[in-house]
Amino acid sequence: MALAQGRTTLGSGAEAALRLPGAGLPALAGEVVLREGGAFLVARDPGPEAPRLLVNGTFVAERALAPTDLISFGPYRLQLRRPGGAFALRVANLKAEAMRRYRGLNYFPIDGRFRVAATFTPSPGAREVTVESTQGGPQKLPYAGRLDFKLLGQDCTLDAFLDRDEPDVLFVIFRDGTSGRETYGVGRYVYVARCADGTAVLDFNKAFNRLCAYGPLFFCPIPPKQNHLPLRIPAGEKTYAAH
């Protein structure tokens, strides 16, 4: 949910801007306030018997939120996100029907052919690349450099980016011949470990779906055209029948 400037109230009641219904949950548990360029959680104390807004398992009356903070409210879990630079809350309900029907992830069998050595050529300067996203318009990704490798006898190249949540590895977004058929149509993602000698290990068996593959409320970058590989890669995470 996108956060408006000012205050966004949270609770189970109809008057809450972000309504989180549930038996026993207080009608108004607190609010998220945008000010001073940040997002602050201001929690109310509804009493010792009622569920409260907790940050990383602890009740605090006010706290500046970071993307790594996990907010708990009854069965709900919330996290701060900034798609396209705007503040938003990611909301999950642990008792939702989709959670109860969850049967695990779906991956291709591990295949050593799709774990290859690559040469990493870093970008000579700091710059950002604009890519489209599944929601919210274009996104800017910090560009890290280029990966060159050989896969199934073909010479391939992928642009690599940096993920602020995983700064020590390369972030690669790609499409291939399985996209939209055996794997998620938008594309898949893989983190790549760099070696000190300028090489990298590119393991497509670890390719995974971003959260936009599981629900319509998530924001995910779309692989640019230069990261569309002209071959089929039956490795990593598969697609699912429905969100």
Least-confidence region, from 110-114, 198-202, 224-228: 198-202
Tell me the C-alpha distance between 140 and 119, whole Å.
24
Cβ(182)–Cβ(238) below 8 Å: yes
Which residues on adjacent β-strands are paired with residue 206? none
Query: What pLDDT shows up at residue 197?
Result: 83
Query: What pLDDT shows up at residue 47?
Result: 74
- Contacts for 15 with CB less than 8 Å, ≥ 6 apart: 9, 27, 28
In three-state secondary structure terms, 229 is: coil
Query: What pLDDT shows up at residue 3?
Result: 85
Arithmetic mean of pLDDT, 215-236: 88
Tell me the C-alpha distance between 174 and 192, whole Å.
13
The share of the chain scoring above pLDDT 90, in percent, equals 56
Cβ(223)–Cβ(174) below 8 Å: yes
Write the pLDDT tens digit of every residue in 12-27: 999 999 999 988 899 9
Least-confidence region, from 9-18, 57-66, 216-225: 216-225
Query: What pLDDT shows up at residue 180?
Result: 92
For the chain, list the domains and their CATH numbers.
6-100 (2.60.200.20), 112-227 (no CATH)
Write the pLDDT tens digit of every residue in 150-160: 999 999 999 99
Query: What pLDDT shows up at residue 191?
Result: 95
Cβ(229)–Cβ(215) below 8 Å: no
Write the pLDDT tens digit of every residue in 85-133: 788 888 888 887 777 777 778 999 999 999 999 999 999 888 898 888 8
Tell me the C-alpha distance between 175 and 203, whole Å.
15
Cβ(121)–Cβ(134) below 8 Å: no
